[in-house]
Each structure stands twice: as C-alpha cells, then as structure tokens.
Amino acid sequence: MSLLQSVEYKVFHWAKTTPEKIAIYNRDERISYSQLASCIQNVSNSLLAKHSLKKGDIVFLIADKTPTFIYNYFALHLSGAIAVMIDPEITAQRFEMIKSRTRPRFIFGNPTKAIPREYVTEMTSTENSKVNVSFDEVVFPDLQDKADILFTTGTTGISKGVYLTNGNIAAAVRNINSFIKNSETDIELLALPTSHSFGLGRIRCVLSAGGAIVLINGFTNIKGFFRLIEEFHVTGLAFVPSAWAYIKKMSANRISDFAHQLKYIEIGSEYLSVSDKKQLIELLPHTRICMHYGLTEASRSVFLNFKNDYLNLDTLGKASPNVEVEVVGESGESLGENCEGEICIKGDHVARLYVGLSEEEVKDFFWKDYIRTGDYGVKLQNGYLKIVGRKKEIINVGGKKVSPIEIEEILNTINGISASACVGIPDPNGILGEVVKAFMVGDSLLCDMTEVKNKITTSLESYKWPFEYVWIDALPRTESGKIKRLELKNK
C-alpha cells in the first residue's frame, strides 16, 4: 500500500515540479499550478490572519463552479478548518437544518436565494495574488484531522453529517486514480456540481494527478459542452446516468466524434441500464469507461470497467484497489458466494465520525471494521458484486424477499415508460404481508398495459408481479438523483 499524502501536498508538488503547467481552465482564464498554489496559500494566510480561523473551526463554502471555490476549499484544509460544501441551489429548509447541526463560524461564497448577503463573510480576493510559495515552508494538513463534512442525501432516512478526514480523502483519491488511471496528461471537463461527493472528488483526483480541469456550468448547453471538449482536447469526462440520458437525447451519437480523444469516463450515483452501457462501449470503443458504487462515507468502493467486465455488466463490479467488500447476514456472519446479505466495506477511505453522534451510536453503522451500507447484495462465484436493493426498500412478499430494482429494470425497457419505482404496500387481502406496487413515469398513451403485464409475467416469478400499477408525473429523488422509494409508500 503506497504512502498516503494529502491532496494539498500533491497540488503543491505539481506547483514545484511543473509550475507553468495549466491546472484550471475557466472561460478565458488559464491558471497554472504555481498560480493555484499561490492563491491557496494567499487565502490560507488571510483566513489565519484576517479572520483568526482556528483549527477545527467549521466553515460553510458555497460551492459554485469557479476557481475561487477551489482556492478556498484547499485553503481551508491548509488552515486546519473543516469545510462544509453548500449547494448554491440549496433550499432554505435544508440550509437551516445543516446550519443548526454544525454551527459554522463563517460562510464564504456568493449569496444565494436561501443564503442572504448578511449571512456571508467576504473573503480576501485572490485575483492578483503574487505570493511566492516556498514549498518547504508550507505546513500540510495532518491526515488524522477532520477536513470536510458532507451531508448524505437521506435516501431512506434522516440526512447524516459525515466527517471526512484528510486521510479518508487521500485514500479515496489513491484508490480512484489507481482504477481510473488518471495522470498529468489528463484534461477533464467538469460539469458535475462541486457541492456533492462526485464532483468534488473529480477535482481532488485530477489535480492530485497533475492534470487539468475545464470548468463548465452543467450539461444543459450541449453545444458548449462539445465545443469545450474539442477546444481543449478533453481526455476525460464524469457524469451521472441522467446527464448521459440528456446528452444522448439532445445530441444523438455526437459523442462518438471524440472516440479517439476521450481516454476515460467515470459514471456514478444512479442506476445505468446494461443497454446504455453497451451503447457507450459501441460509441467509444477506445475509451476506458468506468462506473462506481459507494457511499458518502466510503467513496467509490466498487468499480466496473465496461469493457474488461463486459460479461458482467449487470453487476456493480469488484472492490476498488485497497478496498475490501463483504456480504453479511442478519446475525452478523460473513456469507459465502451467491448468498443475499448486507454489503459492508472496509478501507482507509471509510469515514467513522458523524455530526452529533457518539462513538457508541456510530458502532451500529459498522460490522467489525466494515461500514454497513444498508444495501442488500450478492457476491457471485466469479467475485462480482450484484446489488439487490436498499435494506429498507426490500419488499417482503409472504416471507420472500423481492428487489424493487429487478422489477424496475424490466419496466424501464417497455415503450412509453421512461422511469419506474416499485415499493411494498400492505396486502389488501391480508395474506402476504406485502405486495408490490409499481409507479411509472412516461407517456401512458404510448404504453400498452397488456404488454407491460405480459413482459412482467414472462420475466418474473409470480410473487414479484406488481399488484398495482400507477402513473405519476415524476419520481421523488434526492439531490444526487437517487430514487426516494420510501416516499412513495404513502402515495
């Protein structure tokens, strides 16, 4: 296992060894590694001198897609503070929840609808920073110290505030870069939001490897998206499946024009169908296309390489480098192959501290040294991990466990259904305990319900057949796009 070094250490390493190399492209700005390090150091000095920031202070950082956000984020770590990323589009209710639970000393960034100007503290400008950084004099973060607080999306319950240490972050970067194979030659177009684990992780990974980031505000401007790929000779992308669906809808097969240019793509956060995976392989035959699975507490713990793992595209993949994965039974025993149980993860990247929770309370989240994901899955004979569903979302039909994902995968292939979600509801006949209820999004006029039922009955065992089908306008989702199935139980 390689020696862990903080992300900040690696950024300053590149500033020392390749000072003129571009680290960030933002519109007409070209920010070199030496400029990046100078700006980070300048902000850190200001935090300590002007704002009297102390080690362990909690600071909110409004995570807009700007170089200033990146300077501020790394500067907080150099200063020993704990950064809490705030989505610029956050609701007032969620903002107040996070604020009341963390009690920040400062809020830095541009005001938003939910965060008025009087809440925000002005930070020293770094626009014309000329600080000459002496690499040997910089004090880098202690890997044991808390670095970030990220709040989970609360798919199946209350959102938890997760403390990530500098060591957790460094280990995650090492694991991800080992699999994705990022290097100093990479230029990645970053369209993901920086307030969530995925987008923030891509900044850490690319800059740790000495590569460059091209900033763009989302995927909505498709022409601009492809123009930047061409203009900057982008070699890497990262997106969630819903973004891929949008790219495909708005541009057809345009992405194939860059088949010889794109070195890698990382996908995560949501389900992606096997047919979509195969389509991406066909469009980009020379690209390393990878999909991850993990938690806020255990970033990118499992990876799937679409080409290398072609025969297992219906699985999550295998454990990431330096990560161990076990499937555990109800009594806490480690299960063998092909046995359904809870997926548990072990590694240096796994967080072990939560806002407002004692060590005793946190113990319930772990099995031995493994964090419990709350996901049910199976480790197949060939070592691949297959997910069944969230533990709280598994449907119990007459004592038989039913995965909502298995039913949804079939429904989503039917003409007229663009998305679906299945939940368990009380059996109206009072016999089976629960039965399946299917919620569908799409065009009911294009969808033949006879076809739906025929497809279901020929594909699944009878106890998995939905008892009821309902059309709705949209599925409730978390900020990262995951379906909130438990919200549908009362509909």
What CATH number should be reported for the domain holding residue 358? Answer: 3.40.50.12780
Give me the pLDDT at residue 126, please: 53
Q: Considering just the CA atoms, what is the radius of gyration of the chain in Å?
A: 23
Assess if residue 388 is contained within a domain. Answer: no
Assess if residue 347 is contained within a domain. Answer: yes
- Does residue 156 register a pLDDT over 60? no
Which backbone phi and psi does 112 adopt, to 5 degrees? -130, 180
Residue type, 321: P
pLDDT band at 309 (very low <50, low <70, confident <90, very high): very high
Domain termination site, one of 379, 411, 433: 379
- Does residue 158 register a pLDDT over 80? no
Higher pLDDT, 1 or 90: 90
Convert the pLDDT of each residue in 14-51 to its tens digit: 999 999 999 999 989 999 999 999 999 989 988 888 88
Across 76-80, 239-243, 450-454, 464-468, least confident range: 239-243
pLDDT band at 118 (very low <50, low <70, confident <90, very high): confident
- Does residue 180 register a pLDDT over 90? yes
pLDDT band at 128 (very low <50, low <70, confident <90, very high): very low
**Averaged over 87-96, what is the pLDDT?**
86
Which residues constitute the domain of residue 419?
A: 394-488
What pairs with residue 302 in β-bridges?
293, 319
Q: Indicate whether 374 and 401 sit together in one domain.
A: no
Beta-sheet pairing, 82-86 with 417-426: unpaired
Give me the pLDDT at residue 488, please: 86
Assess if residue 2 is contained within a domain. Answer: no
Q: Tell me what the pLDDT averaged over the chain comes to.
A: 90
Domain count, the chain: 2
Q: Indicate whether 44 and 145 sit together in one domain.
A: yes
Q: Indicate whether 435 and 347 sit together in one domain.
A: no
High-pLDDT (> 90) share of the chain, %: 60
Domain termination site, one of 332, 353, 379: 379
Give me the pLDDT at residue 1, please: 42
pLDDT band at 103 (very low <50, low <70, confident <90, very high): very high
pLDDT band at 331 (very low <50, low <70, confident <90, very high): confident
Give me the pLDDT at residue 211, please: 98
**Averaged over 319-324, what is the pLDDT?**
96
- Does residue 9 register a pLDDT over 80? yes
Q: What is the CATH number of the domain that holds 469?
A: 3.30.300.30
- Model pTM? 0.84
High-pLDDT (> 70) share of the chain, %: 95
Across 164-178, 258-272, 394-408, least confident range: 394-408
CA distance 139 to 135: 9
- Residue 224: both structure tokens together: 């601009």
Q: Indicate whether 156 and 288 sit together in one domain.
A: yes
pLDDT band at 483 (very low <50, low <70, confident <90, very high): confident
Which stretches of 334-379 are assigned E, i.e. beta strand? 341-346, 353-354, 366-367, 370-379
Beta-sheet pairing, 370-379 with 341-346: antiparallel
**Averaged over 215-239, what is the pLDDT?**
94
**Averaged over 316-329, what is the pLDDT?**
95
Q: Indicate whether 246 and 335 sit together in one domain.
A: yes
- Does residue 295 register a pLDDT over 50? yes
- Residue 61: both structure tokens together: 């950082």
Q: Indicate whether 234 and 371 sit together in one domain.
A: yes
- Of 406, 411, 452, the C-alpha closest to 314 is 406
pLDDT band at 164 (very low <50, low <70, confident <90, very high): very high
**Averaged over 402-410, what is the pLDDT?**
85
- Does residue 4 register a pLDDT over 60? yes
Assess if residue 336 is contained within a domain. Answer: yes
- Does residue 393 register a pLDDT over 60? yes
CA distance 35 to 15: 8
- Does residue 2 register a pLDDT over 70? no
Query: Distance from CA of residue 440 to its chain's centroid?
Result: 25
Assess if residue 386 is contained within a domain. Answer: no
Residue type, 427: D
CA distance 228 to 244: 17
- Does residue 116 register a pLDDT over 90? no
Match 């709280």 to its residue by tokens. 392
Q: Indicate whether 250 and 320 sit together in one domain.
A: yes
Give me the pLDDT at residue 480, please: 61
Which stretches of 50-199 are assigned E, i.e. beta strand? 58-62, 82-86, 106-108, 146-151, 161-165, 187-190
What pairs with residue 190 in β-bridges?
215
Domain termination site, one of 350, 379, 408: 379
**Averaged over 268-291, what is the pLDDT?**
92
- Of 323, 281, 306, 314, the C-alpha closest to 384 is 314
Convert the pLDDT of each residue in 230-270 to its tens digit: 999 999 999 988 889 889 989 989 999 999 999 999 998 77
Assess if residue 389 is contained within a domain. Answer: no
Contact 254, 229 (CB under 8 A): no
Q: Indicate whether 313 and 438 sit together in one domain.
A: no
